[in-house]
C-alpha cells in the first residue's frame, strides 16, 4: 500500500508543479476525470499504457512516478 501512496503523491506533486488541473491531465492522457482522480486518491493504479502517457506528459521516467 505504501507504493500506491507514493504514486498518488507523486502524481499530485507533478501535476501541481506543472500547473495542470486533474481534468486537463485526464484529457491529455485520454481518460475520464474520475479515473484520473482515482489515481491521485490512491484508489486505483494506472494501466501500463497510462503510466507511459503520464511519464511523457510530465517528462519523467516511469521510475520517477513510483519512487
pLDDT of residue 3: 75
Using CA atoms, how far residue 15 sits from 28, 41, in Å, is 12, 13
Question: Quick one: cell of 67?
Answer: 519512487
pLDDT in tens, 14-32: 999 999 999 999 999 999 9
d(CA 9, CA 24): 18
Average pLDDT over residues 6-11: 95
pLDDT of residue 67: 85
Assign a CATH topology to domain 2-66: 434 Repressor (Amino-terminal Domain) (1.10.260)
Question: How many helices (H) and strands (E) are present in the chain, helices listed first?
Answer: 5, 0
Is pLDDT at 62 greater than 80 in this prediction?
A: yes
Amino acid at each position: 500500500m505504501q507504493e500506491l501512496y507514493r504514486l498518488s503523491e507523486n502524481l499530485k506533486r507533478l501535476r501541481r508543479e506543472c500547473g495542470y488541473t486533474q481534468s486537463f491531465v485526464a484529457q491529455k492522457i485520454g481518460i475520464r476525470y474520475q479515473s484520473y482522480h482515482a489515481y491521485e486518491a490512491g484508489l486505483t493504479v494506472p494501466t501500463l499504457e497510462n503510466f507511459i502517457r503520464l511519464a511523457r506528459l510530465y517528462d519523467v521516467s516511469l521510475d520517477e512516478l513510483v519512487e
